[in-house]
Chains A and B, each alone.
Chain A
């Protein structure tokens, strides 16, 4: 299995855009692709997409140790916070 598809990475830019449309269109498409990736990255880093990732992975049965019905959005959020702030997570 390819790692990129496993991680659910955002789609890469369409390289054939140059051949199919005019310069303007390809610029717009290129910008859209970059913005899309940036937005995807921001949601991943900030934890905004954490619950969706969790659900996707539990449904696919990838996480090996988790058992029982999936947590609700609120339970999951509190669980993340509890685990994050029990160890050293912020530096000087």
Chain B
């Protein structure tokens, strides 16, 4: 009887998921409700977790819960600590959830809701979750070794170096693009700038509280910080309404870029307890809270999807970013479906906390399902906006013009009706001077979230507060990523420079800290500043570069995973990681090739550089403009070189892995698996 009920339950879940997916895919003409997206996503996740992840766990990886994990064998009470699986899952999810799954789907909504939603769901259950799960498993079996170390041991000597360089490159591009998102979210907005600026003293206050007054009392400090943050979100309105204060906090794009570069440098040199750690606590709480609130809000409000299933921009002429669905939809969504970066977390802290191998399924596969769900909600929030408003906010001035009137004419001509009044009215409601050309996805996501929240609580009267709360929430954890990323990037540069001169490797030596911080901040700051000056908005070139770098890292992780499966003698099951690997590689290789060589200047870096160079050669440009154009030409060529190098590094690793597979399978080389030997657990069975 019980078994029958179980079978009926899973038939019901599969039916609901498949039915909702069908409704999303084939609904035409009738307005679609957001509930379908939630049902389709959750139904698929449940079925995938119950059946596919169980298959991967038992057949492909053969998880063995009788085997002692590194947390048990190497327990030192510090790095290796046996921890409850739900607590590890909380840690792991907080670590992998960043701005990517919120911003990527928002940008990819320009193709319509269908391609992005399908990829978010299918890419996660077949690719992203599998990658996180398998890498976590491999790292557990190797005493918590990092992806780079595993690449070196299991694939090739060069593999480790390639992984390190790829991580460094992805970090620099990531930091530049998220900083650009902040600049676009804050520019010309005194309310948002004031709120975010105030989070710095608030974090410092929390830092002092947790360091001196009540050491380690994270929850108390976070509660105080959260109350203060709510206050400054409200106070931001008073600042925006006061002409003299509003002037102080109204900054242009370049000014904001310089402020963020200086801030990044200062933050990476300050002690972590003062600024980085307290803000990390605060942003983690607000992030998880806001994501749950958004889910609850979408279920309560059940907004109608206004975007069509497929827009005309599937042909590659999109204003948000140029390029066709294949490969650019997949590259843009990046972290919401497959994220190479997760493999660093899955081979970092997490494997050192896991008490049983069996828990890797919940923590690796399960956390990524939640991440994908965040992406689906961002997609819903973007598609619930009127498409006219969505395109007016996310298109750069170089394409739709700088005035509401010009934007309304252009966007209406694309078939998305928009009145100039709509943009004025909406800007007024959310307390902004303008909502035009606010590229990067953060402001349009904030409008989407504010609409959902204000329908639940407060109505249009509170729309401004909700909008600025949402914007603050995004900017807050982007700043955390910026600080933490700059710091990690600094350590990597120090590790690399130590090969040149030993003292550079000493992380506590001040001259080395200052120099390497300057190098890493200078690197992302350079891309950020040129992004701000780019007439096409910068996001157009930087976000795809970030996506390519991230997906290439995923390819590296999947190559390592497949090699390990082959060495473990699981040749029958290698399609589990080989399939996603081939897909991710074809997406990134096509994407890299097109970003470098595409003849359309809005896609290909070289074509754009040549177009600008021709303009420069023709003469007639004023001196200042000519200098700026020359810089843009150089920058486009630099972008092409960076993408080319990344792709080349990944290809080298793939060919080395293929050679290794050939040697193993043809028995030309002995199989050497660098697993830690089996030790039986001393804990009794059960959880």
- A residues engaging B (CB < 8 A)? 1-4, 6-7, 9, 41-48, 50-51, 53-54, 57-58, 62-66, 72-74, 76-92
Contacts and interface: CB of A to CB of B under 8 A. Distances in A.
A78 to B, nearest CB: 6
Interface of B: 74-79, 81-84, 86-87, 90-91, 94-100, 167, 174, 178, 210-211, 215-219, 222, 272-273, 276-277, 280-281, 284-285, 334-335, 339, 341-342, 344-345, 348-349, 355-356, 480-481, 484-485, 487-488, 491, 507, 546, 550, 682-684, 686-687
A51 B167 CA distance: 33
Contact of B219 (A7, A46, A64, A72): A46
A84 B602 CA distance: 41
Contacts of B345: 88-89, 91
B75 A76 contact: no
Contacts of A92: 98-100, 174, 178, 334-335, 339, 341, 481, 546, 550
Contact of B78 (A46, A48, A79, A88): A79
B76 A64 contact: yes
A81 B484 CA distance: 12
Closest 3 CB pairs of A and B: A63-B77, A45-B90, A65-B76
Contact of B687 (A3, A45, A57, A74): A3
B356 A83 contact: no
A81 B78 contact: no
Nearest to B88: A45
Contacts of B78: 63, 66, 79, 83
A65 B74 contact: yes
Given A84-B277, A87-B488, A92-B339, 9 more contacts: A41-B86, A46-B218, A48-B218, A53-B81, A65-B74, A86-B507, A88-B167, A88-B341, A92-B174
A58 B78 CA distance: 11
A77 B348 contact: no
19 contacts: A6-B82, A7-B84, A44-B83, A45-B94, A46-B219, A77-B273, A79-B78, A81-B277, A83-B79, A85-B272, A88-B167, A88-B341, A88-B345, A90-B95, A91-B96, A92-B99, A92-B178, A92-B334, A92-B335
Given A74-B215, A85-B277, A90 B485 contact: yes
B272 A89 contact: no
B99 A89 contact: no
Contacts of B348: 87-89
Nearest to A86: B491
A4 B216 contact: no
Nearest to A55: B77
Contact of A74 (B211, B281, B356): B211
B686 A47 contact: no
A13 to B, nearest CB: 16
Most chain B CB within a 10 A radius of its CB, from A44, A57, A58, A90: A90
Contacts of B276: 85
A5 to B, nearest CB: 10
A7 B82 contact: yes
Nearest to B335: A92
Given A44-B87, A64-B74, A90 B280 contact: yes
Contacts of A7: 82-84, 355
Most chain A CB within a 10 A radius of its CB, from B78, B272, B342, B507: B78
B225 to A, nearest CB: 12
A77 B82 CA distance: 19
B480 A66 contact: no
Nearest to B683: A3
A86 to B, nearest CB: 6
Prevailing SS type, chain A contact patch: helix
Contact of A91 (B74, B280, B339, B682): B339
A91 B272 contact: no
A9 B686 CA distance: 14
Contacts of B682: 1
B584 to A, nearest CB: 16
A7 B82 CA distance: 7
Contacts of A54: 77
Given A45-B94, A54-B77, A66-B76, A6 B485 contact: no
A82 to B, nearest CB: 7
Contacts of A76: 216
B487 A85 contact: yes
Most chain A CB within a 10 A radius of its CB, from B75, B84, B178, B491: B84
A77 B219 contact: no
Contacts of B222: 46
A85 to B, nearest CB: 5
A38 B81 CA distance: 21
Contacts of B215: 72-74, 77
A90 B83 CA distance: 20
A80 B664 CA distance: 42
Given A64-B75, A77-B211, A90-B484, A2 B82 contact: no
Most chain A CB within a 10 A radius of its CB, from B281, B683, B686: B683
B93 to A, nearest CB: 9
A9 B78 CA distance: 19
Contacts of B342: 91
A74 B281 CA distance: 17
A21 to B, nearest CB: 29
A4 B687 contact: yes
B481 A82 contact: no
Contacts of B82: 3, 6-7
A3 B684 contact: yes
Contacts of A66: 76-78
Contacts of B216: 47-48, 50-51, 73-74, 76-77, 80
B219 A42 contact: yes
Contacts of A81: 272-273, 277
Most chain A CB within a 10 A radius of its CB, from B77, B219, B342, B684: B77
A6 B341 CA distance: 32
A74 B74 CA distance: 25
Contacts of B480: 90
Contacts of B95: 89-91
Contacts of A78: 211, 273
A46 B356 contact: no
A89 B98 CA distance: 11
Contacts of A48: 216-219
Nearest to B93: A45
A92 to B, nearest CB: 4
A91 B487 CA distance: 13
A48 B356 CA distance: 24
Contacts of A46: 218-219, 222, 281, 284-285
Contact of A1 (B100, B211, B487, B683): B683
A91 B218 contact: no
Contact of B686 (A3, A45, A91): A3
Contact of A90 (B76, B98, B285): B98
Contacts of B344: 88, 91
